[in-house]
Copies of this chain bind each other. A is one copy, B any other.
């Protein structure tokens, strides 16, 4: 296993970047963090994860950077910024990447790799990572980890044949497993993104529009039915786009969510903090792909347009 010798960069140190970066560093990896708004807090007090699974975790001496030019070349780059900043971050990602680096987008939604790929070098491998985790950033440098934590990895594009792709995915999986994190390789990243989208398209938007966490949404008959209807619509879209999903996936996700603690999805936090919401990756791209496959998503479109309205009202006019 080559994972012990990798230099790792974390691009974007909110809840996701902070949690996985800290876990990898605690497992002995050489982890370097690119930070913006959190830089002062992290260099002063370190990085803290208040985990309801692992207890309170603290990383004292964080290798923190304000700009990518100061970072050493990294073999693995985990991008955990908002998808809305991917294009703006692309130059920093390229700068921090060692030759043949593996870039992993730890983000939700569809099309995020497609959009970033043209902005990377040809020698760079691009992967997607889907995180099944309940976590949020409580304050600068402090992440609250409520539940779960698995990261599943899939190869997107890069200079690798099928065998090399498999080896790269296996290497990434080993990195996470060595840090005590569940991880599995995914044969189809696109299929896995659609599957995860079933949850995200329903709960992210409805948490914002109805100002409610997952438990509250599942407790009321109408909002639970709304969650189910949106999930089924996304499930249908995935199938119309040619992806085979596990049977009864919507019902299983509903049951899984009911077993989770109260959770406010990331879009809820973005909205509350007047940050842009990830509407492109979670709604616009899926709607466009479904439309191309001739599949209508009227419920999802209602959510999308309502959120666009709120997003426009929250942002200063461009």
By a beta-carbon cutoff of 8 Å, the part of chain A in contact with chain B is 206, 209-210, 212, 217, 220-223, 225-226, 229, 298-299, 301-306, 308-310, 312-313
Q: Please name all residues of chain B whose beta carbon is closer than 8 Å to the beta carbon of A306 when the two chains form the complex.
A: 206, 209-210, 222-223, 226
Shortest beta-carbon contacts, A-B, top 10: A222-B308, A222-B305, A298-B298, A223-B309, A226-B305, A302-B302, A222-B309, A299-B302, A220-B309, A298-B299
Q: Please name all residues of chain B whose beta carbon is closer than 8 Å to the beta carbon of A223 when the two chains form the complex.
A: 305-306, 309
Q: How far apart are the CA atoms of A301 and B303 in the complex, in Å?
A: 12
- Beyond A225-B305, A226-B309, A299-B302, 8 extra complex contacts between A and B, CB < 8 Å: A206-B306, A210-B309, A210-B310, A212-B313, A220-B308, A221-B308, A222-B305, A226-B302
Copy tally for this chain in the complex stands at: 2
Q: Please name all residues of chain B whose beta carbon is closer than 8 Å to the beta carbon of A305 when the two chains form the complex.
A: 222-223, 225-226, 229
Whether A312 contacts B226 in the complex (CB less than 8 A), given A209-B306, A299-B298, A302-B302, comes out as no
Q: How far apart are the CA atoms of A302 and B210 in the complex, in Å?
A: 12
A-side binding surface: helix, strand, loop or mixed? helix
Q: How far apart are the CA atoms of A135 and B312 in the complex, in Å?
A: 29
Q: Please name all residues of chain B whose beta carbon is closer than 8 Å to the beta carbon of A304 when the two chains form the complex.
A: 222
Q: How far apart are the CA atoms of A229 and B299 in the complex, in Å?
A: 11
Q: Residue on B with the closest CB to A225?
A: B305
| Chain B nearest CB, measured from A141 CB (Å) | 34
Q: Please name all residues of chain B whose beta carbon is closer than 8 Å to the beta carbon of A209 when the two chains form the complex.
A: 209, 306
Q: How far apart are the CA atoms of A220 and B310 in the complex, in Å?
A: 10
Q: Residue on B with the closest CB to A223?
A: B309
Q: Please name all residues of chain B whose beta carbon is closer than 8 Å to the beta carbon of A309 when the two chains form the complex.
A: 210, 212, 217, 220, 222-223, 226
